[in-house]
Structure 1
Amino acid sequence: MARTKAEAIRAIGLDLSITSPGFALIDVTNRKPTLVAHTHYKTDAADAQTLRHGLIESYALFWLRENLRKGPPVVAVAREIWPPSRDFRQNDKIHGTWSAVDRALAALGLAVTDNLSPTNVKKAVTGSGKAEKSEIAAAVRRICGLPADYTFATDDESDAAAVALAYLITAELIDRP
């Protein structure tokens, strides 16, 4: 079913790591994106990896449930991918985090729909595949119409918003900046 021009939609952006996963919600009405919510969860490196994954799952489930209670339908859950590492322990950490968030999403009837490379995210939102963190945050502010002095608590939050925006731009649901 085709969506009308005025019908609102929502995209979720995920910038996942075992240290500080970031989450963002972007709503779109009339091709205009609005940053609805963003957060991150800081884990404790002293905790066991399985505990960290469990806490990430719990946090993701709680935050998403609270923020998805109202609003337009979710059309996409976009995740930034992690290039495979030669060190299996690094892969285990990130894949465990992905799995934790996947379980939280599944509990809410959602699933990751798109996996985007860091380079493609940067290129879509800034025009350069080599953009720095500050450039990504500035692009998110500009695209979402936020004030220039709007601050994100961490780069993980602005990166998660950039992931959602990159999906929306490449899917041609919003105009290229």
Structure 2
Amino acid sequence: MIIAKPKERPKRYLGLDLSLSPGLAVIDVKERIPTLVYTGSVATDTNINHAARSVVVESFIAQNVYEYMPFDIVLREDFTSGKNKDATRAVFNSWTAADRALNVFGYEAAKFKKGEHLTPTTVKKAVGGSGRADKKEVANGVRRLLRLPDDYPFKDGNDDSDACAVILTYLMRENLIDTEADAA
């Protein structure tokens, strides 16, 4: 009797670009090829307080974790401080909301050693070509690395493509995917 070997499922990555209007991405990797499964973002109403906005963030992340799990790793862009105290508080508020949503399902964002964090500059350089790349350049890099059409539509604000970029930066750094340079 021949027993068929079970098919190996792709590795699944969840990426978060956190703010009070966060982006989220799910990317599968099979045979070193990344494939976009889902990307989205939610724009919270700036006229409501941070507590209410964080509930929206938590709900958005929880719904997508539930929809697309299981994940092999959860990644988020590192953050230390914003332009001012309110901006810093808003981002850390969204981190807490994300942590609550992840923890309900038994997940937490990956923790890295000093120097290995996925900083905004690192992500922009890896995917956009420069540590000062703008959102359009990052979105174009994401399209290229995911082999998406040049006109693939990311939402206004590109927080969803930024979440993809977080995952792609990690995958390239860990040598888990092939890029065009690898294929040449």
What TM-score do you get using the length of structure 2 for normalisation?
Answer: 0.84
Provide the C-alpha distance between the structure 2 equivalents of 1:86 and 1:37, rounded to a whole number of angstroms: 30
Unaligned runs of 5+ in 2: 1-7, 112-116
Determine the structure 1 residue equivalent to 2:41: 40
Provide the C-alpha distance between the structure 2 equivalents of 1:100 and 1:128, rounded to a whole number of angstroms: 30
Alignment coverage as a number of residue pairs: 167
Deviations 1:102-142 (A, max 9, x none): 11011111110054101111122233222121111111111
CA contact under 8 A between 2:128 and 2:139: conserved in structure 1?
no
Task: Classify 1:148/1:86 alpha carbon distance in 2 versus 1 (closer, same or farther; 3 Å).
Answer: closer
Identity of aligned residues (%): 42
Task: Classify 1:135/1:85 alpha carbon distance in 2 versus 1 (closer, same or farther; 3 Å).
Answer: closer
Provide the C-alpha distance between the structure 2 equivalents of 1:100 and 1:170, rounded to a whole number of angstroms: 27
Provide the C-alpha distance between the structure 1 equivalents of 2:83 and 2:38, rounded to a whole number of angstroms: 35
Determine the structure 2 residue equivalent to 1:123: 125
Unaligned runs of 5+ in 1: 1-5
Determine the structure 2 residue equivalent to 1:112: 109
For residue 92 of structure 1, report the CA deviation from its aligned partner.
1.4
For residue 10 of structure 1, report the CA deviation from its aligned partner.
1.1
Determine the structure 2 residue equivalent to 1:54: 55
Partner residue of 1:92 out of 69, 89, 92: 89
Determine the structure 2 residue equivalent to 1:136: 138
For residue 81 of structure 1, report the CA deviation from its aligned partner.
2.1
RMSD: 1.6
> Helix, strand or coil for the counterpart of 2:34?
strand
Task: Classify 1:77/1:147 alpha carbon distance in 2 versus 1 (closer, same or farther; 3 Å).
Answer: same
Determine the structure 1 residue equivalent to 2:5: none
CA contact under 8 A between 2:79 and 2:119: conserved in structure 1?
yes
Determine the structure 2 residue equivalent to 1:147: 149
What TM-score do you get using the length of structure 1 for normalisation?
Answer: 0.87
Provide the C-alpha distance between the structure 2 equivalents of 1:126 and 1:174, rounded to a whole number of angstroms: 17
Residue identity in the other structure for 1:147: P
Residue identity in the other structure for 1:41: V
Determine the structure 1 residue equivalent to 2:173: 170
> Helix, strand or coil for the counterpart of 1:27?
strand
